[in-house]
A and B are shown apart, each in its own frame.
Chain A
Amino acid sequence: MKIARLECDLKQADLAAQIGVTRQTISLIESGDYNPTLNLCIAICKALGKSLDELFWEDDEK
Protein backbone atom coordinates (compact mmCIF):
# COMPACT_ATOMS: atom_id res chain seq x y z
CA MET A 1 0.00 0.00 0.00
CA LYS A 2 2.87 2.32 0.81
CA ILE A 3 4.42 1.70 -2.61
CA ALA A 4 1.08 2.37 -4.34
CA ARG A 5 0.72 5.59 -2.37
CA LEU A 6 4.22 6.74 -3.28
CA GLU A 7 3.54 5.88 -6.94
CA CYS A 8 0.58 8.29 -6.78
CA ASP A 9 2.92 10.87 -5.22
CA LEU A 10 0.72 11.18 -2.17
CA LYS A 11 1.71 11.81 1.43
CA GLN A 12 -0.05 9.90 4.20
CA ALA A 13 -1.88 13.09 5.15
CA ASP A 14 -3.07 13.62 1.54
CA LEU A 15 -4.42 10.10 1.24
CA ALA A 16 -6.03 10.39 4.68
CA ALA A 17 -7.78 13.60 3.68
CA GLN A 18 -9.01 12.05 0.44
CA ILE A 19 -10.66 9.08 2.09
CA GLY A 20 -11.74 10.81 5.28
CA VAL A 21 -9.54 9.25 7.97
CA THR A 22 -6.66 10.51 10.10
CA ARG A 23 -3.03 10.33 9.00
CA GLN A 24 -2.30 8.10 11.99
CA THR A 25 -4.83 5.54 10.75
CA ILE A 26 -3.10 5.37 7.35
CA SER A 27 0.23 5.00 9.13
CA LEU A 28 -1.12 2.10 11.23
CA ILE A 29 -2.54 0.34 8.16
CA GLU A 30 0.76 0.67 6.30
CA SER A 31 2.73 -0.68 9.24
CA GLY A 32 0.30 -3.59 9.62
CA ASP A 33 -0.79 -2.57 13.10
CA TYR A 34 -4.43 -2.07 12.12
CA ASN A 35 -6.62 -4.16 9.83
CA PRO A 36 -9.06 -1.82 8.08
CA THR A 37 -12.67 -2.74 7.33
CA LEU A 38 -13.64 -3.70 3.81
CA ASN A 39 -15.25 -0.27 3.35
CA LEU A 40 -12.00 1.48 4.14
CA CYS A 41 -10.00 -0.94 1.97
CA ILE A 42 -12.29 -0.11 -0.97
CA ALA A 43 -11.95 3.63 -0.32
CA ILE A 44 -8.14 3.28 -0.25
CA CYS A 45 -8.17 1.22 -3.48
CA LYS A 46 -10.32 3.81 -5.25
CA ALA A 47 -8.09 6.65 -4.08
CA LEU A 48 -4.95 4.86 -5.26
CA GLY A 49 -6.49 3.47 -8.46
CA LYS A 50 -5.75 -0.14 -7.53
CA SER A 51 -7.84 -3.25 -7.00
CA LEU A 52 -8.29 -4.96 -3.65
CA ASP A 53 -6.15 -7.85 -4.88
CA GLU A 54 -3.30 -5.59 -5.87
CA LEU A 55 -3.24 -3.75 -2.57
CA PHE A 56 -4.24 -6.23 0.08
CA TRP A 57 -3.81 -9.77 -1.21
CA GLU A 58 -0.74 -11.55 0.06
CA ASP A 59 0.49 -14.66 -1.74
CA ASP A 60 1.80 -17.46 0.46
CA GLU A 61 5.48 -17.76 -0.24
CA LYS A 62 6.52 -21.39 -0.49
Chain B
Amino acid sequence: MMDKKTMKNKDYDEYQMMVRYKYGYYALFLLIGLIVTNQFIVAFHVWASPFLQTLVMLYIVGIYLITMYIFKNAYIGKKERSPFRTIAYMGFVGVINFAYIILLRPDFPFYKDNHLQDNIGTLLAAIFFSYISVILFINYYINKKKEEE
Protein backbone atom coordinates (compact mmCIF):
# COMPACT_ATOMS: atom_id res chain seq x y z
CA MET B 1 0.00 0.00 0.00
CA MET B 2 1.27 3.46 -0.88
CA ASP B 3 1.72 5.48 2.28
CA LYS B 4 1.53 9.24 2.79
CA LYS B 5 5.31 9.60 2.60
CA THR B 6 5.44 7.89 -0.80
CA MET B 7 2.69 10.13 -2.16
CA LYS B 8 4.64 13.20 -1.09
CA ASN B 9 7.70 12.07 -3.04
CA LYS B 10 5.98 11.86 -6.41
CA ASP B 11 6.01 14.74 -8.86
CA TYR B 12 2.35 14.38 -9.70
CA ASP B 13 -0.55 13.29 -7.54
CA GLU B 14 -2.82 10.38 -8.40
CA TYR B 15 -5.42 12.52 -10.20
CA GLN B 16 -2.72 14.13 -12.33
CA MET B 17 -1.25 10.72 -13.17
CA MET B 18 -4.70 9.44 -14.15
CA VAL B 19 -5.23 12.45 -16.44
CA ARG B 20 -1.78 11.99 -18.00
CA TYR B 21 -2.39 8.30 -18.71
CA LYS B 22 -5.88 8.95 -20.04
CA TYR B 23 -4.92 11.67 -22.49
CA GLY B 24 -1.69 9.88 -23.42
CA TYR B 25 -3.90 6.97 -24.50
CA TYR B 26 -6.16 9.30 -26.52
CA ALA B 27 -3.08 10.90 -28.06
CA LEU B 28 -1.89 7.52 -29.30
CA PHE B 29 -5.14 7.06 -31.20
CA LEU B 30 -4.94 10.61 -32.52
CA LEU B 31 -1.45 9.86 -33.82
CA ILE B 32 -2.63 6.67 -35.52
CA GLY B 33 -5.49 8.62 -37.12
CA LEU B 34 -3.11 11.31 -38.33
CA ILE B 35 -0.70 8.75 -39.81
CA VAL B 36 -3.53 7.07 -41.74
CA THR B 37 -4.95 10.43 -42.90
CA ASN B 38 -1.51 11.58 -43.96
CA GLN B 39 -1.02 8.46 -46.04
CA PHE B 40 -4.21 9.28 -47.96
CA ILE B 41 -3.15 12.88 -48.49
CA VAL B 42 0.39 11.97 -49.56
CA ALA B 43 -1.06 9.57 -52.17
CA PHE B 44 -2.44 12.67 -53.97
CA HIS B 45 -0.09 15.43 -52.93
CA VAL B 46 3.27 15.32 -51.14
CA TRP B 47 2.96 18.44 -48.99
CA ALA B 48 6.29 18.15 -47.15
CA SER B 49 9.35 15.97 -46.69
CA PRO B 50 8.81 12.72 -44.72
CA PHE B 51 10.73 14.27 -41.81
CA LEU B 52 8.48 17.33 -41.72
CA GLN B 53 5.33 15.23 -42.12
CA THR B 54 6.35 13.28 -39.00
CA LEU B 55 7.24 16.48 -37.18
CA VAL B 56 3.86 18.10 -37.96
CA MET B 57 1.93 15.00 -36.86
CA LEU B 58 3.86 14.85 -33.59
CA TYR B 59 3.34 18.58 -33.22
CA ILE B 60 -0.44 18.24 -33.47
CA VAL B 61 -0.42 15.41 -30.92
CA GLY B 62 1.89 17.44 -28.66
CA ILE B 63 -0.41 20.47 -28.81
CA TYR B 64 -3.40 18.27 -27.97
CA LEU B 65 -1.61 16.65 -25.02
CA ILE B 66 -0.27 19.89 -23.61
CA THR B 67 -3.68 21.57 -23.90
CA MET B 68 -5.45 18.75 -22.08
CA TYR B 69 -2.76 18.46 -19.41
CA ILE B 70 -2.85 22.16 -18.68
CA PHE B 71 -6.62 22.58 -18.59
CA LYS B 72 -6.96 19.43 -16.45
CA ASN B 73 -4.27 20.77 -14.09
CA ALA B 74 -1.94 17.87 -14.78
CA TYR B 75 0.92 19.72 -16.48
CA ILE B 76 2.61 21.40 -13.55
CA GLY B 77 3.76 19.11 -10.76
CA LYS B 78 2.29 19.36 -7.29
CA LYS B 79 5.52 20.77 -5.85
CA GLU B 80 5.34 23.86 -8.03
CA ARG B 81 2.85 26.15 -6.31
CA SER B 82 2.91 28.96 -8.88
CA PRO B 83 3.00 28.45 -12.65
CA PHE B 84 4.74 31.78 -13.29
CA ARG B 85 8.25 30.33 -13.48
CA THR B 86 7.12 27.90 -16.19
CA ILE B 87 5.13 30.66 -17.94
CA ALA B 88 8.21 32.90 -18.01
CA TYR B 89 10.52 30.11 -19.17
CA MET B 90 8.22 28.92 -21.97
CA GLY B 91 7.48 32.50 -23.04
CA PHE B 92 11.20 33.26 -23.16
CA VAL B 93 11.97 30.22 -25.33
CA GLY B 94 9.05 31.17 -27.62
CA VAL B 95 10.29 34.75 -27.97
CA ILE B 96 13.86 33.56 -28.69
CA ASN B 97 12.53 31.36 -31.50
CA PHE B 98 10.42 34.19 -32.95
CA ALA B 99 13.44 36.52 -32.72
CA TYR B 100 15.57 33.95 -34.55
CA ILE B 101 13.03 33.80 -37.39
CA ILE B 102 12.57 37.57 -37.65
CA LEU B 103 16.18 38.66 -37.22
CA LEU B 104 18.19 35.87 -38.80
CA ARG B 105 15.87 34.35 -41.37
CA PRO B 106 13.53 37.13 -42.52
CA ASP B 107 13.40 36.13 -46.19
CA PHE B 108 13.61 32.36 -45.89
CA PRO B 109 10.36 30.94 -47.29
CA PHE B 110 8.35 28.45 -45.27
CA TYR B 111 6.32 27.40 -48.30
CA LYS B 112 7.89 26.87 -51.70
CA ASP B 113 6.89 24.84 -54.81
CA ASN B 114 3.75 23.48 -53.10
CA HIS B 115 5.89 22.12 -50.27
CA LEU B 116 6.30 23.14 -46.66
CA GLN B 117 10.00 23.71 -46.07
CA ASP B 118 11.87 21.99 -43.24
CA ASN B 119 12.89 25.32 -41.72
CA ILE B 120 9.30 25.79 -40.53
CA GLY B 121 10.42 23.78 -37.49
CA THR B 122 11.65 26.97 -35.83
CA LEU B 123 8.27 28.66 -36.36
CA LEU B 124 6.47 25.59 -34.99
CA ALA B 125 8.74 25.63 -31.92
CA ALA B 126 8.11 29.35 -31.43
CA ILE B 127 4.33 28.85 -31.62
CA PHE B 128 4.51 25.75 -29.38
CA PHE B 129 6.37 27.39 -26.50
CA SER B 130 4.41 30.65 -26.73
CA TYR B 131 1.18 28.65 -26.79
CA ILE B 132 2.15 26.78 -23.59
CA SER B 133 2.96 30.07 -21.91
CA VAL B 134 -0.36 31.65 -22.94
CA ILE B 135 -2.60 28.76 -21.96
CA LEU B 136 -0.80 28.29 -18.64
CA PHE B 137 -1.57 31.93 -17.95
CA ILE B 138 -5.24 31.51 -18.96
CA ASN B 139 -5.55 28.37 -16.82
CA TYR B 140 -4.00 30.16 -13.86
CA TYR B 141 -6.77 32.77 -13.97
CA ILE B 142 -9.47 30.14 -14.47
CA ASN B 143 -8.19 28.35 -11.34
CA LYS B 144 -7.94 31.59 -9.43
CA LYS B 145 -11.53 32.47 -10.30
CA LYS B 146 -12.72 29.00 -9.23
CA GLU B 147 -10.79 29.33 -5.97
CA GLU B 148 -12.50 32.67 -5.23
CA GLU B 149 -15.92 31.14 -5.91
Contacts and interface: CB of A to CB of B under 8 A. Distances in A.
Interface in A14-46: 16, 19-25, 27-28, 34, 36-37, 39-40, 43, 46
Interface string B1-13: 1111001101001
A40 B3 CA distance: 9
Interface residues of B, number: 16
A43 B14 CA distance: 12
B78 A21 contact: yes
A28 B19 CA distance: 13
B16 interface: yes
11 contacts: A20-B7, A20-B8, A21-B15, A22-B15, A22-B73, A24-B15, A24-B73, A25-B16, A28-B15, A39-B2, A39-B3
| Chain B contact residues: helix, strand, loop or mixed | helix
B15 A20 contact: no
B62 to A, nearest CB: 23
B4 A46 contact: yes
